[in-house]
Amino acid sequence: MKKYIPALIIVSVFGLAGAGLFTATRLYQLGTQRVAPNAPQSEPSAWDCSGYTFNVTSEGVVTVINNTDRNEPSQTADVFIDNNKVATFDVPGFSPFSPLLTLGTITPPANSTFSWRVVGSLDCQNSGNHTIQTPTPTVSASPSPTPTTSASPTPTPTATVEPTPTPTASVSPNTCQISFTISAKTPTPTPSQTPTPACDSSCTTDSQCQALDKNLVCYSATRTCRNVNAPERNDCSLRPSGTPTSTPTPRFECNSRCSSDSECKTIGSTYSCVQISGEGRCRDTRNSQSATCQVSSTKSPSPTASAQVATTTPTVTPVSLPAAGFGLPTVATGATALVLLAIAAFFAF
């Protein structure tokens, strides 16, 4: 039995040396492997992308639904139209079997087919296409014109005057005879007199107006009787000699056309001539975009700039895990020492 002890020692030493070499090699490989903390090698079991889905309608409405039996954490979703990122929406956390939620809207391309894709920042993404059908215009036939029947003028009856028969007196032969003829006289129609136009009455010739007053003429602009020296006046009178003709001052009001600020200052000191769509308009400078010149009595609060939190994805540099307390050289040295020790023990026995 004593002679087997060296053999057992040698086998044990070589076994320990092999185990040490394998362990050192594995630890060395794990120590030099690059591992990113934010990129796990296995997918979290909380996500079920078959029931947790995004969608973009043809009108540009972006929605998400959780039709799973799991709680889904919050994340963000990037929206791509024709492979161009157009928006990013915040996606809240979901409880199991949550209803459809609208995240926001985007503006899809007008009258064209487009593709869409929504990518979650943590997990799950969906994509699709929309084809926009251009409606075909319907041409309606124009109705046929309805003929207009004009009525024929009704003839005016003409009175016919029949001659009155002439009575003939007859007497016996022994008496005196007297013959006479009675003829009917046709009445002569009296021509109707043309009414004499009064001042500013309708006319066609100067003679009609001069029948009333020799200073009147038929003014062509109005076709009425006017004074020849002042046809623009409808009372047929003349202004007193030496009276200057005053030019009326144009009146300016809110939204009147203008060419200078001084014209609008006649409305108020706060008015000026503002260029609106390429032409000057009198507007209140306190609210020049209002066509009614309404100025709010309450001071509008200054808009508070909403703080925008920049979501930045940290750049993670893969790090190497520190090697164990002993490396491959150390284990190799130990294994060699054990082999030499086993050989020495063999010869000692």
State how far the Cα of 103 lies from the Cα of 315, in Å rounded to an integer.
28
State how far the Cα of 315 lies from the Cα of 308, in Å rounded to an integer.
21
State how far the Cα of 348 lies from the Cα of 341, in Å rounded to an integer.
10
Q: What kind and span of H or E run contains 78?
A: strand 75-81
Reading the chain (349 residues) residue by residue, the pLDDT tens digits are 666 777 777 788 788 888 888 888 888 777 666 554 544 444 445 578 989 999 999 899 999 999 999 999 999 999 999 999 999 999 999 999 999 999 999 999 887 789 999 999 998 999 999 987 766 666 565 555 555 545 455 555 555 555 555 555 454 555 566 666 666 666 665 655 555 457 888 898 988 888 878 888 898 888 899 888 888 888 887 765 455 555 566 778 898 999 999 999 999 999 999 999 889 999 999 988 888 888 876 555 554 444 444 455 555 555 554 544 555 566 567 667 777 776 776 666 5
Same structural domain for residues 66 and 23? no
User: What pLDDT, on a 0 to 100 scale, did the predictor assign at position 272?
Assistant: 93
Domain count for the chain: 3
Query: Which of 198, 195, 191 minimizes the C-alpha distance to 218?
Result: 198
Does residue 12 form part of some domain? yes
Distances (CA, A) of 154 to 126, 147, 151, 160, 256: 84, 21, 9, 18, 57
Does residue 69 form part of some domain? yes
Look-up of token digits 């040490």 = 20
Does residue 117 form part of some domain? yes
Look-up of token digits 């087919």 = 113
Does residue 19 form part of some domain? yes
Q: Which domain holds residue 109?
A: 52-123
Region class of 42: left (phi > 0), else alpha (psi between -120 and 50), else beta = beta
Amino acid symbol at 16:
L
Amino acid symbol at 166:
T
Q: Where is the domain boundary, 75, 97, 123?
A: 123
Same structural domain for residues 56 and 119? yes
Does residue 269 form part of some domain? no
Does residue 159 form part of some domain? no
Q: Where is the domain boundary, 175, 209, 235?
A: 235
User: What pLDDT, on a 0 to 100 scale, did the predictor assign at position 306?
Assistant: 45
Does residue 21 form part of some domain? yes
Does residue 16 form part of some domain? yes
Q: Where is the domain boundary, 123, 151, 169?
A: 123
Query: Is residue 202 classed as helix, strand or coil in its secondary structure?
Result: strand
327, 20 contact by CB (below 8 A): no
User: What pLDDT, on a 0 to 100 scale, did the predictor assign at position 308?
Assistant: 47
State how far the Cα of 226 lies from the Cα of 237, in Å rounded to an integer.
9
